[in-house]
Structure 1
Amino acid sequence: MDVVETCGKGTLSSGEPSNKPSTASIYDDDEVVGFEKDAEIIMKKLIRGTKERDLISIYGMPGLGKTTLARKVYNNPSIVNYFEVKAWCAVSQAYNRSTLLVEIFKQATNDKIKIKEDDDVADMLRKVLIGKRYLIVLDDIWEVEAWEDLGICFPQGECGSRVMVTTRIEQVAKHLQHHSHPYSLSFLSSKKSWELLEKKVFRGESCPPDLLEAGLQVALHCKGLPLVVVLIAGMIAKMDREASLWLEVANDLSSLALGEQSMKVIQSSYDHLENHLKPCLLYMALFPEDHKITVDDLLKLWMAEEFVLNVETENMEEASRVCLSDLLNRSLIIMVSGMRFYDNVQYCSLHDVVREFCLRKLTEDKYMQLTVPYNPYQHLHSTESRLCIFIHDDFVKQLDHPDYQLDKIPRLDFKETNSLEFIAHPKLNVWNNQYSNPLDLVLKLRFVRVLDLMDVELPDSWATAIQSLTELRYLALCVKQFELKWISHLHNLQTLRLKSSEKLRLRAATLWEMTKLRHVNIDCFSVAWEDNEQESSSTSLLENMKSFGTCNIRFDNMNARFWWRFPNLEELCLSVEDVPEFPYFPIVEVHSHLHFLSLEFPLIELFNSFGWERFCVFPSNLRHLDLDKCFLTEEMVLNIARLKKLESLKLFLGFPSMRSYCWDVTNVEFPSLKYLGLFFMKIEEWKASEESFPVLEKLVISAWPGFRGIKEIPPSFADILTLRRIELFDCTDSLGVSAMNMKREIEENTGCDSLQVVIQK
């Protein structure tokens, strides 16, 4: 790899646009203070020193910010540019070796190499890493055996490769020592504690003089633990700004021993939550430790369980996002892996200390009865409890236990007992059918609201098995055959996710009967929608539908009125099999709420067709547009430019043999575009004027390996005052040089190091 000049002078960044959404994490890198010197020391250990593979350990007690520091260093542009291969995985106390190796392998190969069931992933990973300068982060290791399991897959060599480990156990860190000494993360000083507290409470503003002394006392009694600081900040930010109230908090903290502080502060934060937020938080503890929870799925699960307010209104999604924002702002949830520019937080998680508290709370308050593993002495007949079962392999094994009876699980009627029965979905684990047919369990859970069997291909009898699950709000299935009429009796269903290896023909007339549907995603070989006007009223509308997605769909078998039936649609994702022969949106004004659109075209057919662009006129309120395999003709570019509110544009090609071309947008303006991503586009020359992208903040370019591609970024980009970040992947050396020259030009003209450049091959 040719290492381009590193960018920045120790500048640490999360790599996101400057105008963060309101749900930004309390742990965002640009807001965390107190780690500047630590980060500098760790980066020197990573870049300097021995050419042999080295292991860098960061250790310290829970809540000190080990993961935050490691993530801060990991995302630093200097580190990104220095290492050819990077991967991050959370090990935790209970880990699965093969799962971790698969995760590392996927990151090391950018998920370009598919893994088969009988592949030796450890050997494949070694071969991928040999001869490369790599950085692997193993977050939260508890025992030496974990390193021994994984470390043998990371080849030795003299490329300057590094493995960075975080652990709360000093003995583990010392045992893992190679060349570098373990790094003990210190407590924050009183000054840094106050600086962090002030940032979190006042969001960049200064503390009023009348609160300064009380604020300093609060910071002092946090005893240097960043986790305690941010949790306290999240709590007092919601309190009245009165010094007496803040001093009460400080006095309460002062009497606690260091080890008690985190749990006490979490309890206080929990007590201050509105009642509807408490089950939202507790529900997250049912996911595995350090699991990256997809926010989009989490919000749908909250809605299905009726945890959020306004569940009967059209603003249910917004209500769930407000819940997420509230928990983030109180520091009880961590954003763990960046943001999509167009959709706030993409993944979130619980700090392990917060998760430990939640699991205790679930048991103490009898929200959950622990049904796994089997315990013959466990009481399972409390009619006052709120039953939650988390299905995974260990549970399924218990089904074969001679003394285990599923009838021990109480079947609660919510109306009669004021209790709610719900089930944490098994998607997170592999369901091994050698133990049991999952449908056997389904039959015992008549009042379940969420059922996710997406990772298990069900037998043909699945439809009969779920006939009794009339309370379902969320259903995810992997099946060979599917008919909407099989689930049409589920009148409360909000979310339907479907995966099939077969071609499906679905009657839309049944769809119009399911009036509470809000989110539909169908991923299969091909979908043919049959919509007979004689069978369904022309006025039938699904006004609650918010997102709709299908893979490999044909438009010629769809009635033109199909899309009119979703007047409040916000997100639409389609993979289109045919060249447009009529407008995708005949009356664009109908979809005034549509803000995200993803379209995949049949590129070969499109390339050989003429005039197809006139059918690609999009709803005018679009803010985010993803186009895959779309040939950028002049008319198509103008169609995109007509979207005056468009904030993010992603263009994918996916067809390597197509000829390259010049993309000239000199006389075209994208007035609101903040994010532009060009992925595998066969653009050899790019022309743009100062007016083309006036408010652009982030540019991402990823090229075909071996293809020359764009030679330079248009010089006019140096004049874009809002531009903050450029990321280049597998691009030509000349493109990297032009980006670095642009960075230096901006620094010389403005005196500010405002542009970050990340170059990775």
Structure 2
Amino acid sequence: MEVVETCGKATLSAGEPSTKRSITSIYDDDEVVGFENDAQIIMKKLIRGTKERDLISIYGMPGLGKTTLARKVYNNPYIVNYFDVKTWCAVSQAYNRRTLLVEIFKQATDDKIKIKEDDDVADMLRKVLIGKRYLIVLDDIWDVEAWEDLGICFPQGECGSRVMVTTRIEQVAKHLQHHSHPYSLSFLSSKKSWELLEKKVFRGESCPPDLLEAGLQVALHCKGLPLVVVLIAGMLAKMDRKSSLWLKVANDLSSLALGEQSMKVIQSSYDHLENHLKPCLLYMALFPEDHKITVDDLLKLWMAEEFVLNVKTENMEEAYRVCLSDLLNKSLVMASGIRANRDVVHCSLHDVVREFCLRKLTEDKYMHSTDSRLCIYIHDDLVKQLDYSEYQLDKIPMLGFKETNSLEFIAHPKLSTWNNRYWNPLDLVVKLRSVRALHLMEVSLPDSWATAIQSLTELRYLTLHVRQFEFEWISHLHHLQTLQLKLRNYKSIRLRAATIWEMKKLRHVNIYSFPVVWEDINDEGGFETSMLENMKTFRTCNIRLDNMNTRLWWRFPNLEELGLKVEDEPKFPLFPIPEVHTRLHSVSLRFSVMEVFNSVGWERYFVFPSNIRHLDLTGFFLTEEMVLNIARLKKLESLKLFLGFPFGRSEYHYWDVTNVEFPALKYLRLDVMRIVEWKASEESFPVLEKLVIKGGYIKEIPPSFADIPTLKLIQLINCMESVGVSAMNIKREIEENTGCDNLHVVVVKPK
């Protein structure tokens, strides 16, 4: 397979792709390996469907072979014979409209009609194409404006004409959608990667048996990116055919893969980024190879480093979420985990993109200018030099200057080097007075940590794993936005009005593994001045509600996410006036199982704010009142129930929601629920898309689920066999009624 990816702002070409050699091609083979299934799908889009003009988009990250796939389809004999007119045009980032139209016109007329300088080429092209079934390929489009420039020259008609577009940018593909959905090109399987590698290296011959294992390892390490396979194949073809050498290539692939050709491919996408997105992308390369980066943490780290300036305080999280969305849309970042509500949970960089970013940082000597401040990215090499120079920054060769007071440091997210080399990483931390983000969750800090961090007054992001903690120790960190704590012994944290309430910029607090006790909270004196209006997220384990003032949550008026593990029986409503928290959209409450059995009726205290979209409840009685409280949430999209007990303590647990409607619920998960019989009507879950049941006593899914038109997935984990039977009956009934196989049933049995 020849991998073709046009790139560079100067690229401007048009013509039959079979006669053009891309700057990233390695061989000019007629046969193309891979993409057989993809090609069949694209061909069906071209020859079937609407008679109106349609636009077929193919999108994906650089190096996936979008152009190769388009060319494979374009040159297919059936497609050649099906269309009256075929033209191919490489657009790229910079283009001249008239030049491109001239080239398309020449191809459409076989260059038989000469064009004069003052001719209206757009009008001439329209007249040539009217009444004909044409296929026009616009390769490597970077923005919607390019289509708006050219598309108006292609007549509509009802001849079954098609325009095929390749792009790296998902949003462009979606914006261009007419009738057909954009096609996302995936990575090659390990089998296809090996087929391509073998073909390129041995030129049609089979791989010798003694090289097979090494060759498979090389293919595996290419991570499914055709561009890398082809580049490495070119390298192997020139090497001695020795297994040891090939295995070395496999092990060193991350540093070998990014040669000049692939550098240009990624560089063109990098150059196309807005300035504020470039440090966001480079920062991600500091995480370990193949690391699944938690999106919530990444956005908070970006926010701490202020990569996006002049953002309104209340919109900071959304601004950085848009940054990640832009990088995903431009196919430079991959989504590696998605929630039921389609939010991206984890993301990662392909090795080629990561290596490119690391090289960019290395070229700049680990330094990156952002406006007036200078950032140093702390890599393992820098840590070694810091150690060698006894942390005297002016003696480090790679820095090359003496003034360090004005520096602001970005700490290395991977701390294994510190953890292995230093028992106390604080020796390094205290030298970085302007550090904004410290992630020390994986490092067991000594008791002296509080003293060491006293001088780090610029901290915006702090995660700690310590033996003891008091808010007084960090209350002077007035810039702190994110605080995550994990304790190594079971000692309470005490929150006092004079401490946490002084930290006005605090936005995200997550406390693991130890209890929180609220103190000095009363209704008198200075209440208005004790508001934390920036607080967005508050999560903690083992909180006791009996000593909390009922107006506590009023101090967090803009709270968006709340997670609590409650250790005592509630004595008053958690949200006395639910309307106070209009921005609260996610609530997770976990109750002590012993408290559930010791009392009944406290569920009445949980009337939730009306804008909640995600609700997670553990350890509770699923009484009629509680069900109605949940059903009042008209915007609720995701509901997770764990260890719930419907109606009472009888041996026979019965859950009837026949007359209850959850109007917006798309995701329902029931974990170890003591429900034996479950009844529901088709109106109960009108827009449900995914149902997950894990363990518990449920015997069957209500038959009415077959009448839910949006239902796409039923996942059963360690459930009774009868539940699986009911799910398959629902699937069968949907197929009989609609003629479509839209419901997917997944059954996971205990090992």
User: TM-score scaled by structure 2?
Assistant: 0.65
Partner SS state of residue 552, structure 1: strand
Deviations 1:361-380 (A, max 9, x none): 112234549xxxxxxxxxxx
Q: Which residue of 1 aligns with 2:218?
A: none
Which of 661, 668, 672 pairs up with 1:676? 668
Q: 1:515 aligns with which of 504, 513, 518?
A: 504
Judged with a 3 Å threshold, the aligned counterparts in structure 2 of structure 1 residues 735 and 65 are, in CA distance, closer, same or farther, namely farther
Alignment of 1:361-760 (within 5 A): 361-368=360-367, 386-390=375-379, 408=395, 420-426=408-414, 429=416, 432=419, 435-500=422-487, 501-509=489-497, 510-533=499-522, 537-539=526-528, 540-653=530-643, 661-704=653-696, 709-760=697-748
Question: Which amino acid in structure 2 is aligned with residue 746 of structure 1?
Answer: I
Shift of 1:744: 1.4
The CA distance in 1 between the partners of 2:400 and 2:454, in whole Å, is: 16
Shift of 1:604: 2.3
User: Per the alignment, do residues 446 and 35 of structure 1 end up closer, same or farther by CA in structure 2, a change over 3 Å counting?
Assistant: farther
Mapped partners of 1:412, 1:234: distance in 2? 43
Separation (CA, whole Å) in 1 of partners of 2:292 and 2:269: 22
Letter in 1 for 2:736: E
State the secondary structure of the residue aligned to 1:470: coil
* Deviation of 1:236 (Å): 6.7
Rate the CA distance shift 1:361–1:281 in 2: closer, same or farther, 3 A: same
- Checking the alignment, whether the CA contact within 8 Å between 2:419 and 2:425 is kept in structure 1 is no
Indicate how the Cα distance of structure 1 residues 415 and 557 shifts in structure 2: closer, same or farther if over 3 A, else same. farther
CA-CA distance at 1:403 after TM superposition: 7.8
Listed one character per residue, the Cα deviations across residues 259-291 of structure 1 (whole Å, up to 9, x for unaligned) are 755332321111111110100001001111111
1:506 touches 1:530 (CA, 8 Å); kept in 2? yes
Q: Structure 1 stretches of 5 or more lacking a match?
A: 1-32, 41-61, 69-185, 202-207, 220-228, 242-252, 370-382
- Counterpart among 151, 166, 190 of residue 71 in structure 2: 190
CA distance in structure 2 between the aligned counterparts of 1:470 and 1:236, rounded to whole angstroms: 43
Name the structure 1 match of 2:294: 294
Counterpart of 1:94 in structure 2 is none
Per-residue deviation, 1:398: 7.1
| 2:434 alignment partner AA | F
Q: CA deviation at 1:317?
A: 0.2
Count matched residues: 537
Asked if 1 retains the 8 angstrom alpha-carbon contact of 2:542 and 2:564, the reply is yes
- Bigger radius of gyration: 2
Q: Is the 8 A contact 2:389 2:395 kept in 1?
A: no
| Alpha-carbon distance change, 193 to 581 in structure 1, aligned in 2, over 3 angstroms | farther
**Alpha-carbon contact 1:504-1:524 (below 8 Å) kept:** no
Shift of 1:658: 9.7
Q: 1:36 to 1:629 in 2, by over 3 A?
A: farther
Distance 2:573 2:400 in 1: 51
Q: Deviations over 1:419-464 (max 9, x none)?
A: 642212345x385467331111111111110001111221111110
- The aligned residue for residue 281 of structure 2 is 281
Do the aligned partners of residues 192 and 506 (structure 1) sit closer, same or farther apart at CA in structure 2, a change above 3 Å counting?
A: farther
State the shift of 1:535 in Å. Answer: 8.9
Alignment partner of 1:424: what SS?
coil
Q: Are residues 632 and 35 of structure 1, via their aligned partners in 2, closer, same or farther at CA, if it must alter by over 3 Å?
A: farther
Tell me the CA shift for residue 609 of structure 1.
1.0
SS at match of 2:168: helix
Aligned counterpart, 1:356:
355
Say which SS state the counterpart of residue 666 (structure 1) adopts: coil
- RMSD value, Cα: 4.0
Provide the rounded CA distance (Å) in 1 between the counterparts of 2:692 and 2:597. 25
The one-letter code matched in structure 2 to 1:641 is A
| Equivalent position SS for 2:548 | coil
Hey, what's the Cα distance between the residues in 1 that align with 2:346 and 2:457?
30
Answer yes or no: is the 8 Å Cα contact 1:431–1:455 preserved in 2: no
1:525, distance to aligned residue in structure 2 (A): 2.5
* Pairwise CA distance, 1:230: 7.0
Q: Which has the higher contact order (CA 8 A, sep 6+)?
A: 1
Note closer, same or farther for the CA distance 1:658–1:64 as it changes in structure 2 (3 Å cut).
farther
User: Identity over aligned residues, as a percent?
Assistant: 65
Tell me how far apart the structure 2 counterparts of residues 239 and 718 of structure 1 sit (CA, whole Å): 34
The 2-side partners of 1:313 and 1:35 are apart by 50
Cα-to-partner distance string for 1:568-618 (whole Å, 9 max, x where unaligned): 000000000011110000111110100000000112222331321110111
| Structure 2 residue aligned with 1:232 | 168
Q: CA deviation at 1:556?
A: 1.2
The residue matched to 2:676 in structure 1 has which SS?
Answer: strand
Distance 2:458 2:734 in 1: 59
1:315 match: secondary structure? helix
* 8 A Cα contact 2:391 2:431, kept in partner: no
Give the Cα–Cα distance (whole angstroms) in 2 for the partners of residues 711 and 286 of structure 1.
49
Distance 1:416 1:457 in 2: 28
Aligned-partner Cα distance in 1 for 2:629–2:286: 46
In 2, distance between residues paired with 1:434 and 1:648?
44
Distance 1:479 1:356 in 2: 34
Give the drift of 1:563.
0.4
1:307 equivalent in structure 2: 307
Q: Do 1:596 and 1:622's aligned partners in 2 also have CA atoms closer than 8 Å?
A: yes
| Counterpart residue type for residue 348 of structure 2 | S
